[in-house]
């Protein structure tokens, strides 16, 4: 039963996205909501027919036929469509009465690719882009999107509404960008996939399945890009490698009650070796060409993290990579991560000296790291830093981790007094 439910959920997500892309491509992005309705309707019919008559041999093909009929039905009865869309279609396809809706594998792939470029148009605000990507490219429900962003359904609905209006008003077409802008547009698409993945990997939701789904969907979108020669660039493969490496630790990272298992404490046997291998494959492909993007460097860092054993070589490499990443792309969180690598590679004192100059006073990870650095040498100072971190932490999972560290510190303190 569970296997069947799992199958249905994935069938819905994948086929929803494919059908919305194909229908929107045929009738225009202005009709994206109608496309969603048409596809939703096909699923409602499936619920009835499949459970009354039994599952068809090819569920996806069944859905395509129903969606096709629904679309024809809708557009025949809709006068706006007859006046505005049909003449354009007739002119472009040369067809008169019969509109061919093409659900071939090739057209599905092209439509999804074009939909990715449309959704990742920079005219749409980026938070709305991720929401729209989740809905239109990944078939997530509004509830799930709201949960992932830790916000209300109304907020998400408004955001999606605005994004769709923007698509309409800016007259964005579903087409591959011309050669001269392909590269910069591809950067946008990669960036949105990267954000989507991070949304899953560092999500504030407690829903583990949702987190994992977000990561896997980001990878699925990346695969679509690698399947197409013009978008299968070294940087695309670097992003894929990065996502595969990180995903290999998803299961090991997952503790009880939505808590994370920290990297140092993870059970290595839970790391997904197949995903690491997959990561290696994409990583080797990313090495073609001259360009080194931040994805390349992040993938390299993730690669070293896939080796559990600490060695001087490992941390010196990671430190070096963080140095380069900071040069390309400075961000406080990268600076913090670099600090941790510095501590591992060069030792406590050097890390403390640099940490004190960083002054990221709004960042709870900063104080957690400082606490970590002072632990064992100056436990009072360590505790003060942990405490500041605890006050700043935003999610319960983070708070739990910090609280545990403080408790351990207290325990150590007790032991120390007893031994005295």
Partner 1 sequence: MKEFMLLFRQPPFDHNTTPQDWQALAKKWKDWVEGLTSKGSFVSNGQRLAMEGKVLKPGGVITDGPFVEAREILGSFIIVKAENLDEATTLAHGCPAIDTGGSVEIRPIFGQ
Residues in touch with partner 1 (CB under 8 A): 5, 8-9, 12-13, 16, 36-38, 40-41, 43-54, 56, 62, 65-66, 68-70, 72-74, 76, 139-144
- Which residue lies nearer to partner 1 by CB, 49 or 187? 49
The least distance separating partner 1 from the CB of residue 73, rounded to whole angstroms, comes to 5
- Which residue lies nearer to partner 1 by CB, 1 or 179? 1
Widest distance between CA atoms in the chain: 94
The least distance separating partner 1 from the CB of residue 70, rounded to whole angstroms, comes to 7
- Which residue lies nearer to partner 1 by CB, 62 or 282? 62
- Which residue lies nearer to partner 1 by CB, 41 or 272? 41
- Which residue lies nearer to partner 1 by CB, 64 or 374? 64
The least distance separating partner 1 from the CB of residue 49, rounded to whole angstroms, comes to 5
The least distance separating partner 1 from the CB of residue 134, rounded to whole angstroms, comes to 11
Question: CB-based contacts of 47: which residues, under 8 Å, 6+ apart?
Answer: none
- Which residue lies nearer to partner 1 by CB, 9 or 288? 9
Sign of the alpha-carbon torsion through 152, 156, 159, 161: negative
CA atoms in the 13 A half-sphere facing the CB of 275: 20
- Which residue lies nearer to partner 1 by CB, 153 or 411? 153
The least distance separating partner 1 from the CB of residue 259, rounded to whole angstroms, comes to 25
- For residues 303 and 336, give the distance between their C-alpha atoms in angstroms, rounded to a whole number: 19
Q: Give strand pairing partners of 260.
A: 254
- Which residue lies nearer to partner 1 by CB, 77 or 359? 77
- Which residue lies nearer to partner 1 by CB, 71 or 306? 71
Q: Please tell me the total number of residues recorded for the chain in this structure.
A: 420
Residue 120 three-state SS? coil
- For residues 235 and 116, give the distance between their C-alpha atoms in angstroms, rounded to a whole number: 17
- Per residue in 332-351, is it b (16+ CB within 10 Å) or e — as a string? eebbbbbbbbbbbbeebeeb
The least distance separating partner 1 from the CB of residue 371, rounded to whole angstroms, comes to 41
The least distance separating partner 1 from the CB of residue 20, rounded to whole angstroms, comes to 11
- For residues 316 and 11, give the distance between their C-alpha atoms in angstroms, rounded to a whole number: 45
Question: CB-based contacts of 317: which residues, under 8 Å, 6+ apart?
Answer: 300, 304
- For residues 196 and 58, give the distance between their C-alpha atoms in angstroms, rounded to a whole number: 31
* Residue 285 and residue 224 in contact, taking contact as beta carbons nearer than 8 Å: no
- What are the start-end ranges of the E strands in 78-144? none
The least distance separating partner 1 from the CB of residue 75, rounded to whole angstroms, comes to 11
The least distance separating partner 1 from the CB of residue 59, rounded to whole angstroms, comes to 12
* Residue 381 and residue 372 in contact, taking contact as beta carbons nearer than 8 Å: no
Question: CB-based contacts of 292: which residues, under 8 Å, 6+ apart?
Answer: none
- Which residue lies nearer to partner 1 by CB, 68 or 185? 68
Token digits of residue 247: 């995903």
Tell me which DSSP letter residue 133 carries.
I
The least distance separating partner 1 from the CB of residue 106, rounded to whole angstroms, comes to 22
Of 193, 137, 187, 191, which Cα lies nearest the Cα of 160?
Answer: 137
């Amino acid at each position: 039963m569970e296997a069947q439910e799992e199958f249905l959920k994935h069938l819905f997500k994948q086929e929803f996205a494919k059908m919305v892309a194909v229908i929107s491509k045929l009738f225009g992005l202005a009709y994206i909501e109608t496309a969603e309705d048409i596809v939703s309707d096909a699923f409602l019919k499936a619920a009835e027919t499949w459970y009354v008559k039994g599952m068809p041999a090819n569920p996806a093909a069944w859905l395509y036929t129903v969606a096709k009929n629904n679309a024809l039905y809708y557009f025949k009865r809709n006068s706006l469509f007859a006046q505005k869309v049909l003449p354009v279609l007739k002119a472009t396809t040369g067809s008169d009465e019969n509109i061919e809706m093409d659900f071939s594998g090739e057209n599905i792939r092209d439509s999804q690719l074009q939909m990715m470029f449309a959704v990742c148009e920079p005219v749409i605000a980026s938070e709305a882009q991720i929401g729209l990507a989740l809905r239109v490219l990944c078939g997530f429900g509004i509830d799930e999107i709201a949960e992932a962003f830790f916000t209300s359904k109304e907020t998400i609905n408004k955001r999606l509404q605005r994004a769709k209006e923007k698509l309409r008003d800016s007259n964005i077409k579903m087409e591959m960008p011309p050669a001269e802008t392909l590269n910069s547009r591809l950067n946008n698409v990669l960036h949105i996939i990267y954000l989507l993945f991070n949304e899953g990997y560092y999500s504030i939701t407690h829903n583990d399945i949702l987190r994992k789904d977000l990561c896997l969907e980001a990878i699925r979108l990346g695969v679509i890009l690698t399947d197409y020669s013009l978008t299968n660039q070294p940087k695309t493969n670097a992003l894929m490698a990065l996502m595969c490496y990180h995903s290999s630790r998803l299961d090991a990272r997952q503790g009880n009650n939505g808590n994370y298992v920290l990297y140092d404490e993870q059970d290595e046997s839970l790391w997904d070796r197949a995903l690491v291998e997959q990561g290696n494959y994409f990583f080797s492909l990313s090495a073609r060409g001259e360009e080194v993007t931040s994805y390349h460097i992040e993938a390299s860092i993730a690669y070293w993290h896939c080796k559990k054993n600490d060695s001087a070589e490992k941390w010196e490499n990671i430190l070096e990579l963080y140095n380069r990443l900071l040069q390309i792309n400075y961000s406080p969180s990268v600076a913090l991560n670099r600090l941790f690598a510095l501590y591992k590679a060069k030792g406590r004192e050097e890390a403390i000296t640099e940490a004190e100059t960083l002054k990221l006073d709004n960042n709870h990870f900063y104080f957690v790291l400082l606490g970590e650095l002072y632990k064992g040498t100056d436990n009072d100072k360590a505790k003060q830093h942990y405490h500041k971190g605890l006050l700043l932490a935003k999610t319960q999972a983070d708070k739990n981790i910090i609280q545990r560290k403080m408790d351990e510190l207290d325990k150590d303190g007790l032991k120390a007094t007893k031994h005295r």
